[in-house]
Structure 1
């Protein structure tokens, strides 16, 4: 799998985790007679970091790759891993902003 394909998957996975989790929290809050807008924003904010972790592999391995390659002087694999993390962060952030936008509009 090349860099762009994996980066796109990292973005979309993080985006989907935040958006899906917030949407399901909104549905659950309707059943529990609480405000869906408030709950969706809270859940989107708290899921942001977990979406990042899920997108890049769910473990500490990407950090190990960065550390071991930087200690050896090989910067390319470390830069690739940092790129994946940045794309995952961008996906999680865009998912959070979409949830905030949806909760702001529509009454």
Structure 2
């Protein structure tokens, strides 16, 4: 995997996770409003509970990441292991960034 593709994939992982948190929580807030629940509280709660799904969506939702991690551990290809960990960290950073923005907008702590 060349460096350009690697950087692109890191950026895309970040923004996919970021988008899953923002989109899911905001649309869920609209749903909460429609069923007469407090939308700001629901947006905040959803931003916390969608983090794992944002991570799964950002890394592709397949077992390729886990296969590459296994190859890195057992076959000694440390570069692949490091790249996969960077992809996961990028997705986690995107999910956390989205949740923090929603926390700032709703003025509540992440539940």
Runs of at least 5 residues in structure 1 that lack an aligned partner in the other structure: none
Structure-2 separation of matches of 1:22 and 1:66: 31
Please provide the CA RMSD for this pair.
1.3
Structure-2 separation of matches of 1:85 and 1:60: 13
Q: Where does residue 65 of structure 1 map in the other structure?
A: 68
What secondary structure does 1:88 align onto? helix
Task: Confirm or deny that 1:4 pairs with 2:3.
Answer: no
Q: Where does residue 36 of structure 1 map in the other structure?
A: 39
Q: Where does residue 22 of structure 1 map in the other structure?
A: 25
1:74 Cα deviation from its structure 2 partner: 1.1
TM-score scaled by structure 1? Answer: 0.93
Q: Where does residue 51 of structure 1 map in the other structure?
A: 54
Range with greater deviation from structure 2 (95-104 or 64-73): 64-73
Aligned residues: 105
1:68 Cα deviation from its structure 2 partner: 1.5
Structure-2 separation of matches of 1:46 and 1:95: 12
The one-character-per-residue Cα deviations of 1:7-45 (angstroms, maximum 9, x if unpaired) are: 000000000000000100111111111101110011111
Once superposed, which parts of structure 1, at least 4 consecutive aligned residues long, lie more than 4 Å away?
none
Runs of at least 5 residues in structure 2 that lack an aligned partner in the other structure: none
TM-score scaled by structure 2? Answer: 0.90
